[in-house]
């Protein structure tokens, strides 16, 4: 007697149920998984830099290349924190120098809108009672420090364990065919994430340099700080671009007595972000990041709801990972098709020959 063929509707319902349960589990385990996910992302950055250094300077060796990559990434991270902290404090102080301008804006809003709102900055700050938020701010700072410590601990253990990845793959998949398929999936994920990092870095640098030139042209103060901040937050899809446009524009309206510098700067920043996001970035990505633009927006909201700022930062890499994994199974392939831009979720991110049976070891980290 022939077995009944599984019903597609029932199978799809099971897949949707599994996705919902997975989302609940990811949200519940967020305190554990978010630092781990960020550490894995950082490990991939370090691994990519180490392999690039070893390819350019073969005499370094694997260990020296990894050490140089770790030092380079650590110095870059410390530099980012130092610049934001040192320049940010002076920036806040300078903001209070615009108090007269802010008072005029608040007075205009209250008068023209007939609103019962404070008409001066001092009254606004007094009404907000900032001292009541000190415990909450202190708790958030403590949480952020703890999160950073966990990320560094996870990263250290991941870097120490990366050398055993090859042995684990061999023992998990005794058959060469199964091992080869697993390596293909791994290489597709790794190459896609590296391509994502490369595209985001180049496009972010292009936007930051263009924004710096525009801010210098209109005479905006702290143009270098704004350009640096635009480059850093550019790794957050959509939100980073929006903040990079709105924040300098708003401060231009405060800094200049005329509205024209702010209007010109806002229009120029928007045009630059639009051109890069719709012309340069798609051309650079090619078929490497085969994600539907609508899904990029939805993934930002989805991962942000699950994991907060960390989820927003990792939304595109996580969606790439999910799409590649779901494309390997018949029952969940339709989700990967929906996430993809051209309907073929397996058509991107595979380096030619990277995971062929002849060079499987080269495709593995360590």
The DSSP element (H or E) to which 169 belongs, if any, is: helix 165-172
What's the pLDDT tens digit per position in 275-295? 887 777 776 665 557 777 788
What's the pLDDT tens digit per position in 157-198? 888 877 677 677 667 777 777 777 777 777 777 787 888 888
What's the pLDDT tens digit per position in 105-118? 666 666 776 666 66
Altogether, the residues listed in the chain come to a count of: 366
**Is the model more confident about 64 or about 352?**
64
Q: Can you tell me the distance from the alpha carbon of 81 to that of 47, in angstroms, rounded to the nearest whole number?
A: 22
> Would you state the structure tokens that stand for residue 23, as one six-digit string?
């989302």
Is the pLDDT at 3 greater than 60? The verdict is no
Q: Could you please report the per-residue DSSP string of 141-163?
A: HHHHHHHHHHHHHHHHHHHHHGG
Burial state string for 296-311 with b = 16 or more CB within 10 A and e = fewer than 16: beebbebbbebbeebb
**pLDDT band at 125; cut points 50, 70, 90:** low
What's the pLDDT tens digit per position in 21-40? 888 888 898 888 999 998 88
Share of the chain above pLDDT 70, in %: 75
CA dihedral 232, 236, 242, 244 (to 10 degrees): 0
Instruction: Return contacts of 307-312, CB within 8 angstroms, 24+ apart.
Output: 307/26, 307/27, 307/30, 307/33, 307/34, 307/37, 308/30, 308/34, 310/34, 310/35, 310/37, 310/38, 311/34, 312/236, 312/237, 312/239
Is the pLDDT at 240 greater than 50? The verdict is yes
Residue 97 Cα distances to 100, 103, 136, 307, angstroms: 8, 11, 27, 37
What's the pLDDT tens digit per position in 327-364? 877 777 888 888 887 777 766 544 444 444 444 445 55
Q: Residue 117, by phi and psi: left (phi above 0), alpha (psi -120 to 50) or beta?
A: beta
Mean pLDDT (the chain, rounded): 77
Q: Could you please report the per-residue DSSP string of 51-98?
A: HHHHHH-GGGHHHHHHHHHHHHHHHHHHHHHHHHHHHHHHHHHHHHTT
> Would you state the structure tokens that stand for residue 236, as one six-digit string?
């957050």
In the block, residue with structure tokens 């390819």? 55
């Amino acid at each position: 007697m022939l077995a009944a063929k599984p019903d597609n509707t029932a199978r799809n319902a099971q897949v949707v149920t599994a996705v919902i349960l997975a989302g609940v589990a990811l949200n519940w385990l967020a305190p554990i998984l978010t630092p781990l996910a960020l550490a894995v992302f950082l490990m991939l950055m370090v691994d990519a830099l180490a392999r690039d250094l070893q390819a350019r300077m073969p005499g370094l060796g694997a260990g020296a290349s990894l050490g140089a990559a770790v030092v380079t990434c650590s110095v870059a991270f410390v530099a980012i924190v130092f610049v934001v902290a040192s320049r940010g404090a002076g920036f806040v102080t300078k903001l209070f120098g615009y108090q007269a301008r802010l008072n005029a804006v608040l007075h205009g809003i209250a008068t023209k809108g007939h609103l019962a709102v404070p008409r001066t900055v001092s009254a606004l700050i007094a009404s907000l009672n900032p001292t009541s938020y000190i415990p909450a701010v202190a708790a958030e700072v403590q949480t952020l420090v703890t999160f950073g410590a966990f990320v560094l601990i996870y990263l250290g253990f991941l870097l120490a364990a990366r050398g055993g990845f090859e042995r684990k793959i061999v023992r998990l998949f005794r058959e060469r065919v199964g091992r080869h398929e697993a390596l293909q999936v791994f290489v597709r994920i790794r190459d896609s994430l590296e391509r994502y990092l490369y595209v985001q870095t180049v496009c972010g640098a292009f936007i930051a340099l263009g924004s710096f030139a525009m801010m210098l042209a209109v005479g905006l103060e702290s143009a270098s700080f704004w350009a640096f901040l635009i480059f850093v937050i550019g790794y957050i899809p959509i939100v980073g671009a929006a903040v990079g446009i709105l924040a300098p524009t708003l401060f231009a309206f405060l800094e200049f007595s005329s509205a024209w510098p702010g209007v010109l700067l806002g229009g120029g920043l928007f045009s630059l972000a639009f051109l890069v996001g719709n012309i340069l970035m798609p051309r650079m990505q090619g078929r490497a990041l085969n994600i539907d633009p609508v899904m990029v927006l939805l993934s930002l909201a989805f991962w942000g709801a699950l994991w907060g700022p960390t989820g927003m930062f990792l939304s595109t890499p996580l969606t790439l990972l999910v799409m590649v994994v779901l494309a390997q199974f018949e029952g969940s392939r339709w989700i990967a098709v929906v996430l993809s831009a051209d309907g073929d979720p397996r058509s991107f991110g595979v380096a030619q020959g990277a995971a062929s049976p002849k060079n499987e070891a080269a495709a593995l980290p360590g």
